[in-house]
Amino acid sequence: MQTSLEDQPVAARQMTSFSATFTLPSSLLPGKYIVKAGVFAPGGGLQYDWSDSAGAFVVDTPPPTPPPAPAAPAPDDTVLQPDGSDTTD
């Protein structure tokens, strides 16, 4: 994945922070991913600086989906008698 932030002001020898938001594809495998960043002249022709370790993030395996709750039993009109026979109301 890649993005660019165009026309951002930066000063020589000054730390500058930027943020970007990504939507990760569902096919992205769990693991640690490294964020790389570069500073380029307008138009991208001249590279001023580059970092192979600007940040990192971890993609975890999602927790398993819990099984559905069992359905409630249907009402039963059967009444058991003390002798084991049943009567339907």
pLDDT in tens, 5-54: 888 888 888 888 888 888 888 888 999 999 999 989 888 889 988 999 98
Contact residues for 32 (Cβ-Cβ < 8 A; gap 6+): 56, 57, 58
Other Cβ atoms less than 10 A from the Cβ of 2: the count is 5
Helix (H, G, I), strand (E, B) or coil at 44: helix
Predicted local distance difference test score (pLDDT) of residue 9: 84
**Beta-carbon neighbour count of residue 39 at 10 Å?**
13
Give 55-89 pLDDT, tens digit per residue.
999 999 877 888 888 877 666 666 666 776 666 55
